[in-house]
């Protein structure tokens, strides 16, 4: 041995992919927790994201789970299984968001209609037009 080779400078390539993924997951968990704490995110949406990220953390710590899963499901390459699961999760999440948007639209529609009718009634009351029919003309609760 004539001389020791100098150690190469540390680069990103030396960081294992698993630890990189783990760091990202932990960061995401932190962001989610903060959003929940500061009330930017309703709890019902956080649950699913905590589930997804928790799953990723477990996979990161115990990558052999994917190998076992591929054997069970018959998928040849473990990474493909991970991709399929990821796509499925994102699909479910976006469908859930569409459902929520539809509900919000219906809510907004009802509120907008109500505001318009209240304004009309208010204007007519101010103008004194509704006095003549005030008798028995109470607002009726609609069913549903």
Partner 1 sequence: MPAAVLVVVPAWNEHETLPLVIAETRAALPNADVLVVDDGSTDDTAEVAARAGALVARLPVNLGVGGAMRAGFRYAQRHGYAVVVQVDADGQHDPAEVPALLALLDAGADIAIGARRRDDEASPAHGPRRWAMTVLSVVLSRVAHTHLTDTTSGFKACNYRAIALFARAFPAEYLGDTVEALVVAARGGLVIRQTEVSMRARAGGVRSHNPIRSALFLGRALVALGFALTRPRTPPPARGTPARGIPPHGRAPLGRADGGRAERRAADGPGR
Interface residue with partner 1, options 23, 99, 115, 122 (CB under 8 A): 115
- As a whole number of angstroms, the distance between CA 48 and CA 53 comes to 9
Q: Is 142 in the site for partner 1 (CB under 8 A)?
A: yes
Number of residues interacting with partner 1: please give it, by CB under 8 A: 21
Question: Which CB atom, from 34 or from 121, has the smaller least distance to partner 1?
Answer: 121
Q: Rounded to a whole number, what is the largest CA-CA distance in the chain?
A: 111
Angle between the N-to-C axes of helices 17-37 and 43-61, in degrees from 0 to 180, rounded to the nearest 10: 160
Residues within the interface to partner 1 (CB under 8 A):
105-106, 108-109, 112-113, 115-117, 119-120, 124, 132-133, 136-137, 139-140, 142-144
């Amino acid at each position: 041995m004539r001389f020791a080779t100098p150690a190469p400078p540390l680069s990103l390539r030396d960081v294992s992919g698993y630890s990189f993924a783990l760091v990202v997951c932990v960061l995401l968990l932190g962001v989610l927790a903060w959003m929940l704490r500061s009330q930017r995110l309703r709890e019902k949406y956080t649950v699913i994201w905590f589930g997804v990220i928790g799953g990723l953390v477990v996979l990161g710590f115990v990558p052999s789970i994917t190998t076992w899963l591929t054997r069970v499901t018959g998928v040849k390459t473990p990474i493909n299984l991970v991709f399929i699961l990821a796509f499925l999760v994102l699909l479910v999440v976006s469908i859930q968001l569409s459902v929520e948007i539809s509900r919000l639209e219906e809510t907004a529609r009802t509120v907008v209609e109500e505001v318009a009718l209240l304004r009309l009634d208010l204007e007519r009351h101010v103008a004194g037009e509704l006095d003549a029919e005030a008798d028995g003309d109470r607002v009726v609760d609609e069913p549903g």
